[in-house]
Structure 1
Amino acid sequence: GRMAREAALWLLLLFSAHLLLRRASAIDRGQFPPPTSFLFGTSTSAYQIEGGYLEGKKGLSNWDVYTHKQGTIEDGSNGDIAADHYHRYMEDIELMHSLGVNSYRFSIAWTRILPRGRFGHVNPDGVAFYNAIINALLHKGIQPFVTIFHYDIPHELEERYGGWLSPEIQKDFGYFAEVCFKMFGDRVKFWVTMNQPNLLAKFAYMNGWFPPGHCSKPYGNCAFGNSSIEPYIVGHNMILSHANAVSIYRNNYQETQGGYIGIAVAARWFLDPIILGDYPAEMRKILGPTLPEFTLKQKKKLHATKLDFIGLNHYSTWYLKDCIFSSCEMDPMDGDARALSLAERDGVPIGKQVNIRLLNTNSCY
């Protein structure tokens, strides 16, 4: 349709602000198409930047609780203050404006809008905060790209039914997404349902690095979890939650609001079901009954909720070695991928090594 064709013409290049500043001398705006047809911007996530974790009637998120538990974060830091964007967002937007960018991708903290998920009220203070950010961005000529879910969920949903391990989360995510469409969709024209859900499934339920910290041997030594099963249950629920949000937007908001909706991923095993209606055949062959099945109704819903755009987050380049047809000393971090990722070949690095120090608590990109 018209919207899909228009969306295909838009190119989005998102640089983390610190990388943009570090390499500013190597980037020339003239190397890219004019601003009317190309969005050149910065990107953040709510937990990494906002702070103000108990302000504005915000509820506790899974990250708030997790980082306050002794031993979960190596240096004991947390996102209580982070970059203090909650208080300094106007300064931050002015900095973006001074860089000359015309887009900004940020995520909405679920617990600022719905402190208790669908089991509580919509928080007017949280709505006002994001309204202020969106309006300030537009005033500066910066297009807001909104990520609905960037790894932080209300802690209450973890306590009530286990968060992403339960199909109940699909109802909560749909409710949260619809509140966002209602409150901000008159001005937000680009929606990202989720940021790299495949990495959340891996880091939170296979390696145990992200909340709720689930894993089992040989991937890690956690108090709870099953690294061979839980990541796929979680992934399944995230795929169906994404489809639910897209369906709600398509059926109730897109025509009147005139926006676009997509997802940011880093792996095929999410795109295949989202676009084609099922997991890759190779994945099904490797995992067998461990991999959840989509019902016929769910497959039809996935087929009906096509994307307007696909976001690809690219940080670095790796060599991959096929471990199905050749022997490998598998790294547990690579899970069931049957592939080995390497930064060098025959002792030669793939490229120049860089050392970027990640500030604050985590790597929630």
Structure 2
Amino acid sequence: MGNPSAYAILFLLELFLLCFAISSGQETLKKSLDPSPIPTNFLFGTASSSYQYEGAYLSDGKSLSNWDLFAHTPGRVSDGSNGDVAVDEYHRYLEDINLMDSLGVNSYRFSISWARILPSISYYNRLIDALLLKGIQPFVTLTHFDLPQELEERYGSWLSPESQEDFAHYVDICFKHFGDRVKYWVTFNEPNVQVIYGYRIGGRFPPGRCSSRFGNCSHGDSEKEPFIAAHNMIMSHAIAVDIYRTNYQGGVMWQNVYPEGFEKIVTHIKERYNNIPMIITENGYGQVEKTGIPIAESLNDVKRVNFMSSYWESLLTAIR
């Protein structure tokens, strides 16, 4: 996960850098990214995750999440950073939404903190209402790696089938309180990453479990536990979908640098499945973490600009 604060502002930085690159004389790119041929129902947005973005880690009754404890454990995060404050969306969400509005985006993917939801339903209601007021469609991720630490301590979180029942209770609360305004839901963000880094390799994600030969972990079984956790996540996903379809409304269901592939896969799905609606929930530029980089060097991020612009150009080609 690296530096949560840095990753949290990544979506804004990417867009600002792209706009800067375009305005700096890339006329060809500007022409290719002209939004005029894009269908009116095309959603173009930004994204964040609760732990990396919200901050306010114990505000208004929020309990500890697994990432709160993990990031506060010495040696777990390379530079010792954590998400206690992050970019403070919890207190500054209106400013963030105004920034989104100024960028012209019409959708925003964010995740709900399971550890925050019960005492802070009002916060997510305010966030969703403020987004809709600006014409920004909310995309809600129910679990973006974080979950209440209490579940880890009580029964081992995803290693226990009890997690399925608790997840069902959690998602039902979300659907009940937000389903009248949220059309798009994602149950898990990259569950494969959660399973591999949390239960198999090196203890890089909470709960930090693995066999001794796979990393510096005090507990775990890299041969068995990833499959147990994956099973419970898959079952939880199925339960969530069933709850939504049965009790609420019908929903819409889910990286190598190769921009051309973007056009090919979108075109293939469009042609193979009669142009069904497609939602790309995540697109970003990951790189090896480097600390202590001067701000000027960070802002002159040519590789990231080229990455984002080439992928967007490829997507536009597919749309046209």
Partners of 1:206 and 1:161 lie apart in 2 by 19
- C-alpha deviation, 1:227, in angstroms: 1.4
Q: Deviations over 1:202-253 (max 9, x none)?
A: 1111121011111124321210111122111111111110000000000000
The aligned residue for residue 226 of structure 2 is 231
Q: Deviations over 1:272-321 (max 9, x none)?
A: xxxxxxxxxxxxxxxxxxxxxxxxxxxxxxxxxxxx8675645469xxxx
- Of 233, 236, 239 in structure 2, the residue corresponding to residue 241 of structure 1 is 236
In the alignment, residue 166 of structure 2 is paired with which amino acid? D
Moved >3 Å (runs of 4+) = 25-29, 31-35, 308-317, 352-356
- Change in CA separation of 1:165 and 1:146 when aligned onto 2, cut-off 3 Å: same
Q: Deviations over 1:139-170 (max 9, x none)?
A: 00100000011011111100111001111111
- C-alpha deviation, 1:16, in angstroms: 2.5
Q: Deviations over 1:114-142 (max 9, x none)?
A: xxxxxxxx32xx11100110000000010
Higher helix share: 2
The aligned residue for residue 202 of structure 1 is 196
- Of 55, 61, 70 in structure 2, the residue corresponding to residue 57 of structure 1 is 61
Contact 1:260 1:309 in 2 (8 A): no
Partners of 2:279 and 2:135 lie apart in 1 by 23
The aligned residue for residue 21 of structure 1 is 16
The aligned residue for residue 88 of structure 1 is 92
The aligned residue for residue 214 of structure 2 is 219
1:1-365 map, 5 Å? 16-24=11-19, 25-26=21-22, 28=30, 30-31=34-35, 34=38, 36-113=40-117, 122-123=118-119, 126-207=120-201, 208-254=203-249, 260-262=251-253, 264=254, 311=280, 313-315=282-284, 354=303
- C-alpha deviation, 1:354, in angstroms: 3.6
Provide the TM-score with structure 2 as the length reference: 0.73
Partners of 1:49 and 1:312 lie apart in 2 by 17
Provide the TM-score with structure 1 as the length reference: 0.64
Partners of 1:313 and 1:138 lie apart in 2 by 21
Q: Deviations over 1:78-127 (max 9, x none)?
A: 110000111110000000000000000000010111xxxxxxxx32xx11
Q: Deviations over 1:33-60 (max 9, x none)?
A: 5463210000000000000011011111
Gaps of 5+ in 2: 1-9, 23-28, 257-276, 287-300, 306-320
- Change in CA separation of 1:229 and 1:204 when aligned onto 2, cut-off 3 Å: same
Partners of 1:156 and 1:104 lie apart in 2 by 29
Partners of 2:177 and 2:255 lie apart in 1 by 25
The aligned residue for residue 262 of structure 2 is none
SS class of match (2:116):
helix
SS class of match (2:87):
coil
Contact 2:74 2:80 in 1 (8 A): yes
Partners of 1:353 and 1:265 lie apart in 2 by 19
Gaps of 5+ in 1: 1-14, 114-121, 267-307, 318-351, 357-365
Contact 1:51 1:81 in 2 (8 A): yes
SS class of match (1:112):
coil
SS class of match (1:91):
helix
- Change in CA separation of 1:58 and 1:140 when aligned onto 2, cut-off 3 Å: same
Contact 1:197 1:265 in 2 (8 A): no
SS class of match (2:151):
helix
SS class of match (1:47):
helix
SS class of match (2:55):
coil
Partners of 2:84 and 2:170 lie apart in 1 by 23
Report the RMSD for the aligned CA atoms in angstroms: 2.7
Aligned length, in residue pairs: 254
